[in-house]
Amino acid sequence: MDQLKKELKEALIQALNLEDITAEEIVDEDPLFGDGLGLDSIDALEIILILERNYGIRLTKPEESKEIFYSINTLADFIGKNRKK
């Protein structure tokens, strides 16, 4: 699980171009959107691509992904349960 979280953080930093942030600085339970890491609806689309490209998970409705995308913890949990690769 920890390996998955680390992998996820690195994928986020790369895909979302979070230039001033390191993987260590992203706290597992902090919100990714809004006040936390400050991600927005465009980032949600990029995260959907990470899920499909890296883990074979297909999501089609960004607006229904809010709970899954809440934090690194919720995202890793969802990937752990649904990953196809």
Partner 1 sequence: MNKYSVYIQSLASIYPQDEAVEGRFSACEPDYKEWIKDAGLRRRMSRIVKMGVTAALQCLQNISEKPEAIITATGLGCLADSEKFLQSIGSHHEELLSPTPFIQSTFNTIGGQIALLLGNKAYNTTYVHRAFSFESALIDGLMQLQAGDAGSLLVGSVDELTPTAYHILARMGVWRKFPAGEGASFFLLGNQKMERTIARIVAVDMVSGDFSQDQLAEKRLNFLQKNNASDAAVVSDDMFKPICGEYQTASSFGLWYACTQLNGAGFVLIANSFLHNHTMVLIEKFKG
Partner 2 sequence: MSVAVTGIGCVSGLGCGAEEHLQAFRAGRSGLGEVTLFQTTLQLPVAEVKRSNEQLKNHLGLDPDRLFSRTALLGMVASRQAFQDAGFPNEGLRIGLISSSSVGGMDLSEQFYAEYAVNQRKGRLRMVAHHDIGDHTERIADYLHLEGFRTSVSTACSSSANAIMLGARMIEQGLLDAVLAGGVDALCRFTLNGFNSLMILDSAPCRPFDESRAGLNLGEGAGYLVLQSEKSLTPESKVYCRLTGYANANDAYHQTASSPDGEGAFLAMRHALDKAGIDPSSVDYINLHGTGTHNNDLSESTAIKRLFGEQVPPLSSTKSFTGHTLGAAAGLEAVFSVLVLSEGVIFPTLNFKSPIKQTGLIAVTEMMEDQDITTVLSNSFGFGGNNAALIFQQ
Q: Which residues bind partner 1 (CB under 8 A)?
A: 15-20, 38, 42, 45-46, 49, 52-53
Count other Cβ atoms within 10 Å, centred on residue 4: 16
Residue 20's binding partner among partner 2, partner 1, none (Cβ under 5 to 8 angstroms by kind) is partner 1
Alpha carbons within 13 angstroms on the beta-carbon side of residue 65 total 24
For partner 2, the binding residues (CB under 8 A) are 40-42, 45, 48, 60-63
**Nearest distance, CB of residue 82 and partner 2, angstroms:** 19
62-65, long-range: CB within 8 Å, 24+ apart, which pairs? Answer: none
Residue 3 interacts, among partner 1, partner 2, none and using kind-specific CB cut-offs from 5 to 8 Å, with none
- Cα separations in angstroms, 20 against 13, 23, 25, 31, 33: 9, 10, 10, 18, 17
Q: Which does 17 bind (CB under 5 to 8 A by kind): partner 1, partner 2, none?
A: partner 1
